[in-house]
């Protein structure tokens, strides 16, 4: 069997690093074709020395010269910018693309991989949330294989009767999407206004990048995942019920007509869903400690509190509104999270800004990727103006 050739977009991130950890355990199975990073030249160069890809991409084109000098003497082609990411994702030599860039920046290279019919391992949920139907249609049209990396969606994928199955067929009635509840699950509403970035990023169960950590704290992550589940499993928010499960051991469940509920369990370690998707339909060792249920002893479930965490409700509303509404939700959330991490706004203002955006910006038909990207740009501009106006007024 010849090795599977991989491009890892976002190789220096949390998912990228976990992917490379699994890859390094199976040198006979995987060969790295390309690695990308946005700005961290030093870390990208270190990974290139270890994994010897043919191509390295630095998406911040201004750092290309720096990367060139860091990799001098190695036989590695250096690409930069969005065009470089798209080239590395669509190269004929590549079988599989790990889409692990954070945010809307990952949409174009992920679509480039889909258009070449690649096997696409999707961590970059924002890309799917933004483009929804267009993304799924492209997967179908180009015969790409889409495998979910998000732990919940990977769990659902594992619990469905077959790949590509959705709710409403094969006796599947509902998806039970689990959520940890984030670091502020028990924080009173009156204190949420004052929590800072470091508290928001201190997730109780998962070590992740800062953007998704803040999303987990606001429950926007669960909102994005609700939309992601609706597209991946051809359903609507009415058939996806969020269950807060603070232990993060059950990664999600699928309910069947006969009353059966299938769950996927595991330690909260992204190497499990990554290994599942990398080797699918086979199973490989992932370096994850076996689950000790005696040690865990008990599981808990709660309903999400939509008063304290309105982001989850906003995401469901954006999905129902359709068109470019989810792209607006995503873009304004990205700007707001950035502003929160930079100390410009308080925690509760993140969902507040998204709420205002959905009320003020009329969604348009999401009939092309260009229309979605234009909407993303307009929503970002709206959010920046709103933030600047608030600062000038105070």
Are 245 and 307 contacting, i.e. CB atoms less than 8 angstroms apart?
no
- Would the annotation count 180 as a binding residue? yes
- Closest approach of Mg ion to the CB of residue 129, in Å: 13
If one asks whether residue 215 binds Mg ion (CB under 5 A), the answer comes out as no
Give the count of residues interacting with Mg ion (CB under 5 A).
3
As a dihedral over the C-alpha atoms of residue 317, residue 323, residue 327, residue 329, rounded to 10 degrees, the angle is -20
For the record, the structure tokens of 276 come out as 């599942």
Residue 47's nearest CA partner among 8, 89, 82, 99 is 8
Which range, of 97-105, 306-314, 320-328, 385-393, touches ligand NAD by CB under 6 A? 97-105
The reply to whether 150 sits near Mg ion by the rule CB under 5 A is yes
Q: Interface with ligand NAD includes 153 (CB under 6 A)? A: no
* Cα–Cα distances in angstroms (integers) from residue 219 to residues 35, 310, 324, in the given order: 30, 8, 21
Residue 323 is a binding residue for ligand NAD (CB under 6 A): no
Residue 125 binding partner per list ligand NAD, Mg ion, none, with a CB distance cut-off of 5 to 8 Å that depends on partner kind: ligand NAD
With CB under 6 A as the contact rule, the residue among 270, 339, 350, 379 that binds ligand NAD is: 270
Q: Could you give the 3-state DSSP secondary structure of residue 16?
A: helix
Q: Does 338 bind Mg ion (CB under 5 A)?
A: no
Shortest reach from residue 359's CB to ligand NAD, in Å: 25
Chain centroid to Cα 243, Å, comes to 19
Overall size of the chain counted in residues? 394
12 or 218, CB closer to ligand NAD? 12
Q: Which is nearer to ligand NAD, 206 or 280 (CB)?
A: 206
318 with 326: CB under 8 angstroms?
yes
DSSP structure class, residue 237: G
Instruction: Select from 5, 16, 174, 334 the one that contacts ligand NAD (CB under 6 A).
Output: 16
Tell me if 89 contacts ligand NAD by CB under 6 A.
no
Considering only residues 204 through 263, tell me which ones interact with ligand NAD, judged by CB under 6 A.
206, 208-209, 211-212
Determine if residue 154 is labeled as part of a ligand binding site.
Answer: no
Distance in Å from the first CA to the final CA of the chain: 64
The site partner of 252 among ligand NAD, Mg ion, none (C-beta below 5 to 8 Å per kind) is: none
Q: How many C-beta atoms surround the C-beta of residue 74 within 10 A?
A: 13
Contact between 150 and ligand NAD by CB under 6 A: the answer reads: yes
Neighbours of 350 (CB within 10 A): 26
376: contact with Mg ion by CB under 5 A: no
Binding mask 101-120 for ligand NAD (x = CB under 6 A): xx--x---------------
Q: Does 15 bind ligand NAD (CB under 6 A)?
A: yes
Stretch binding ligand NAD (CB under 6 A), from 32-40, 184-192, 253-261, 361-369: 32-40
Q: How far is CA 305 from the centre of its chain?
A: 23
Residues 14, 274: Cα–Cα separation, whole Å: 12
CB atoms within 10 A of CB 92: 6
Q: How far apart are CA 39 and CA 57, in angstroms?
A: 10
How many whole angstroms separate alpha carbon 230 and alpha carbon 174? Answer: 11
The binding site for Mg ion (CB under 5 A) comprises 150-152
The binding site for ligand NAD (CB under 6 A) comprises 10-16, 37-38, 40, 59, 100-102, 105, 123-126, 150, 206, 208-209, 211-212, 270
Q: Which residues are annotated as a binding site for Mn(2+)?
A: 150, 152, 225
């Amino acid at each position: 069997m010849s090795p599977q050739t991989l491009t890892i977009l976002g190789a220096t991130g949390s998912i990228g690093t976990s992917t490379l950890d699994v890859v390094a355990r199976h040198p006979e199975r995987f060969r790295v074709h390309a690695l990308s990073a946005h700005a961290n030249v030093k870390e990208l160069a270190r990974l290139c020395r270890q994994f010897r890809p043919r191509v390295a991409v630095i998406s911040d084109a201004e750092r290309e010269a720096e990367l060139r000098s860091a990799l001098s003497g190695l036989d590695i082609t250096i690409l930069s910018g969005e065009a470089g990411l798209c080239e590395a994702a669509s190269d004929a030599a590549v079988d599989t693309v790990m889409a692990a860039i954070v945010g809307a920046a990952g949409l174009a290279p992920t679509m480039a991989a889909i258009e070449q019919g690649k096997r696409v391992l999707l961590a970059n949920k924002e890309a799917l949330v933004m483009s929804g139907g267009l993304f799924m249609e492209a997967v179908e049209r180009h015969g790409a294989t889409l495998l979910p990396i998000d732990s919940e969606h990977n769990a659902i994928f594992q619990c469905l009767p077959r790949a590509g199955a959705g709710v409403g067929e094969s006796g599947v009635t509902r998806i039970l999407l689990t959520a940890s509840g984030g670091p502020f699950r028990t924080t009173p509403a009156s204190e949420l206004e004052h929590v800072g970035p470091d508290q928001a990023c201190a997730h109780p169960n998962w070590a992740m990048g800062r953007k998704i950590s803040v999303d987990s704290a606001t429950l926007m992550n669960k909102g994005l995942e609700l939309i992601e589940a609706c597209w991946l499993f051809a359903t609507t928010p009415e058939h996806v019920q969020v269950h807060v499960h603070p232990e993060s051991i059950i990664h999600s469940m699928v309910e069947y007509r006969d009353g059966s509920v299938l769950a996927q369990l595991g330690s909260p370690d992204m190497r499990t869903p990554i290994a599942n998707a990398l080797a699918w339909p086979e199973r490989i060792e992932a370096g994850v400690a076996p689950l000790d249920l005696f040690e865990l002893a008990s599981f808990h479930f709660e309903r999400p509190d939509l008063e304290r965490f309105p982001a989850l409700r906003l995401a469901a509303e954006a999905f129902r509104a359709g068109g470019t509404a989810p792209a607006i939700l995503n873009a304004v959330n990205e700007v707001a999270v950035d502003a929160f991490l930079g100390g410009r706004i308080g925690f509760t203002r993140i969902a507040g800004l998204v709420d205002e955006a959905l009320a003020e910006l009329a969604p348009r038909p999401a009939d092309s990727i260009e229309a979605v990207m234009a909407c993303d740009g307009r929503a970002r501009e709206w959010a920046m103006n709103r933030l600047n106006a608030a600062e000038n007024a105070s």
